């Protein structure tokens, strides 16, 4: 039965001392909470930490009621919808909560590339997950996942979780990048954290985490090398963050030593740094590459601050400087394009970026309506069966045809 508003709980896992800025899924929870609240729903944050739970939160607990599930294990009796965002649902808990609240709808919201992660854990055992005997929760009511995971994961979820999964509209808000900018500016008032023309030759940076095959720096490095070979006058330096562990691997080291940009002493392989600091101190152009993950907060953060983003993310092909797939020669040409033309077109770039990025923002009324419809569909079988649940990436809304 449809309601004017729903009481929604969103799960997080935060211990004392955690930073909400360090993990995209933590940011996802608060961005979703903001959107649902702006859409008129009542939102609670449920922290699923038993030992050393966070007590001082980076949000207003009067605005977003925040409780610890271990202190109030029956809290879901107060909810219409529970969204497992940062947690995995547990069937015994699901059944218990449904017993005390028969009208409760429980959603598993998948934010990562589970197919790739599970495949690597099974084949290569990089994480302890390969030793986990996990029971799949078949008592949940719905499976939602971020749209960039459709290619790998739609049928993976459908068959394993025994539900018809939905790619749901992406949500992004500048609240976290703005906070990073504020803290950086507070520490160093003389620094300009937004893009600023630093001269003719450009510094190229990359931020791939290099923890699995989805986001790996090698394509970015090779595209930058190719741009440097074509136009060495335009590329002053290459910074490859999150690569400090890779340089100890002989195969990686030997490949890097073949590159002109390395031989000429114009490359540095560094550890992880906060993105705003890295942008402000070392970056004129950001190069990115993904394989099966064509949407990312990083992309939107970078463009929001006015930096040129060279990328192959097809779900934002209308933003930044786009190249397809593994066409690294084209990526090199886009680096050159950004180096030659970004400064001349900066104001238009910022205007276009902000207009298009609005399709992901909580203030977008159409986006609010989509999420309210998603909540309605949990309680309305006719609506659930009659809707076209295919997302249009250009609008971030469901197709109405």
Indicate whether 343 and 205 sit together in one domain. Answer: yes
Please report whether residue 383 resides in a domain: yes
- Using CA atoms, how far apart are residues 47 and 356, in angstroms rounded to an integer? 33
Please choose, from the candidates 326, 293, 303, 323, the residue with its C-alpha nearest in 3D space to the C-alpha of residue 311: 323
Indicate whether 130 and 234 sit together in one domain. Answer: no
| Range list of β-strands (E), 220-277 | 235-240, 267-269
Instruction: Give me the number of domains the chain comprises.
Output: 2
- Using CA atoms, how far apart are residues 104 and 1, in angstroms rounded to an integer? 12
Q: What is the predicted pLDDT for the residue at 59?
A: 87
Q: What is the predicted pLDDT for the residue at 125?
A: 80
Pairing of strands 309-311, 285-287: parallel
Please report whether residue 2 resides in a domain: no
Indicate whether 75 pLDDT > 70: yes
- Using CA atoms, how far apart are residues 192 and 184, in angstroms rounded to an integer? 9
Indicate whether 151 and 270 sit together in one domain. Answer: no
Indicate whether 89 and 205 sit together in one domain. Answer: no
Indicate whether 363 pLDDT > 70: yes
**Tokens found for residue 324:** 């397809």
> Residue 386 CB: number of other CB atoms within 10 A?
9
Q: What is the predicted pLDDT for the residue at 180?
A: 84
> Is 228 within 8 Å of 261 (Cβ atoms)?
yes
**Whole domain around residue 104: which residue ranges?**
7-172+362-398
Indicate whether 62 and 27 sit together in one domain. Answer: yes
Indicate whether 392 pLDDT > 90: yes
Indicate whether 313 and 253 sit together in one domain. Answer: yes
- 131-140, 156-165, 173-182: least confident range: 131-140
Indicate whether 11 and 148 sit together in one domain. Answer: yes
DSSP letters for 317-384 = TTSSEE--TT-HHHHHHHHHHHHHHTTTTHHHHHHHHHHHHGGGSTT-HHHHHHHHHHHHHHH-HHHH
Which of the four pLDDT bands, split at 50, 70 and 90, describes residue 401?
Answer: low
Q: What is the predicted pLDDT for the residue at 108?
A: 96
Please report whether residue 49 resides in a domain: yes
Indicate whether 1 pLDDT > 70: no
- Using CA atoms, how far apart are residues 27 and 21, in angstroms rounded to an integer? 7
Residues in the chain: 401
> Residue 35 CB: number of other CB atoms within 10 A?
24
- Using CA atoms, how far apart are residues 8 and 226, in angstroms rounded to an integer? 50
Indicate whether 289 pLDDT > 70: yes
Indicate whether 353 and 366 sit together in one domain. Answer: no
Indicate whether 263 and 390 sit together in one domain. Answer: no
pLDDT per residue as tens digits for the range 200-209: 899 999 999 9
CATH number of domain containing 265: 3.40.50.2000
The residues that bridge with 67 in the sheet, in sequence order, are: 46
pLDDT above 70: percentage of residues in the chain: 95
Indicate whether 68 pLDDT > 70: yes
pLDDT per residue as tens digits for the range 46-65: 999 999 898 888 888 889 99
Indicate whether 319 pLDDT > 90: yes
CATH number of domain containing 56: 3.40.50.11190
- Using CA atoms, how far apart are residues 387 and 374, in angstroms rounded to an integer? 10
Please, what is the average pLDDT of the chain? 92
pLDDT per residue as tens digits for the range 215-259: 999 999 999 999 999 999 999 999 999 999 999 999 999 999 999
Please report whether residue 1 resides in a domain: no
Indicate whether 187 and 100 sit together in one domain. Answer: no
Average pLDDT over residues 8-36: 88
Indicate whether 279 and 381 sit together in one domain. Answer: no
Q: Which position has the higher pLDDT, 3 or 187?
A: 3
pLDDT per residue as tens digits for the range 99-113: 999 999 999 999 989
Indicate whether 93 and 81 sit together in one domain. Answer: yes
Q: What is the predicted pLDDT for the residue at 189?
A: 65
Please report whether residue 127 resides in a domain: yes
Indicate whether 187 pLDDT > 70: no
Across 296-306, b (16+ Cβ under 10 Å) vs e yields bbbbbbbbbbb
């Amino acid at each position: 039965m449809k309601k004017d508003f729903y009481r929604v709980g969103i799960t997080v896992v935060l211990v004392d001392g955690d930073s909400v800025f360090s993990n995209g899924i933590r940011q996802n929870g608060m961005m979703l909470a903001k959107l649902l609240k702006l859409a008129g729903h009542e939102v609670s944050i449920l922290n699923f930490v038993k030992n050393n739970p966070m007590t001082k939160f980076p949000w207003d607990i009067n605005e977003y009621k925040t409780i610890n599930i271990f202190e109030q294990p029956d809290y879901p009796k107060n909810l219409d919808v529970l969204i497992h965002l940062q947690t995995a649902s547990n069937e015994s808990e699901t059944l218990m909560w449904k017993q005390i609240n028969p009208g409760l709808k429980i959603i598993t919201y998948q934010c990562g590339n589970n197919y790739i992660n599970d495949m690597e854990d099974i084949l290569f055992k990089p994480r302890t997950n390969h030793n986990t005997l996990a029971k799949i929760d078949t008592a949940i009511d719905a499976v939602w996942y971020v749209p960039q995971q459709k290619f790998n994961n739609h049928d993976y979820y459908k068959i394993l979780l025994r539900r018809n999964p939905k790619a749901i509209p992406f949500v992004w808000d500048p609240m976290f990048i703005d906070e990073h900018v504020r803290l950086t500016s507070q520490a160093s008032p003389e620094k300009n954290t937004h893009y600023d023309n630093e001269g003719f030759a450009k510094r190229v940076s990359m931020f791939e985490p290099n923890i699995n095959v989805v986001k790996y720096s090698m394509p970015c490095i090779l595209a930058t090398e190719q741009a440097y070979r074509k136009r060495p006058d335009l590329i002053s330096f290459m910074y490859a963050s999150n690569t400090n562990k890779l340089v100890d691997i002989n195969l990686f080291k030997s490949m890097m030593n073949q590159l002109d940009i390395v031989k000429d002493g114009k490359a540095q392989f560094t550890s992880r740094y906060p993105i705003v600091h890295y942008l402000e101190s070392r970056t004129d152009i950001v190069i990115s590459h993904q394989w099966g993950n064509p949407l990312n907060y990083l992309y939107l953060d970078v463009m929001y601050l006015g930096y040129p983003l060279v990328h192959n993310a097809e779900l934002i092909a209308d933003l930044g400087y786009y190249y397809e797939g593994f066409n690294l020669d084209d990526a090199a040409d886009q680096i050159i394009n950004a180096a030659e033309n970004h400064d001349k077109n900066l104001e238009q770039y910022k205007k276009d970026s902000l207009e298009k990025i609005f399709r992901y923002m909580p203030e977008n009324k159409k986006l609010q309506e989509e999420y309210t419809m998603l909540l309605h569909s949990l309680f309305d079988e006719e609506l659930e069966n009659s809707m076209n649940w295919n997302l249009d990436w250009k609008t971030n809304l469901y197709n109405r045809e």
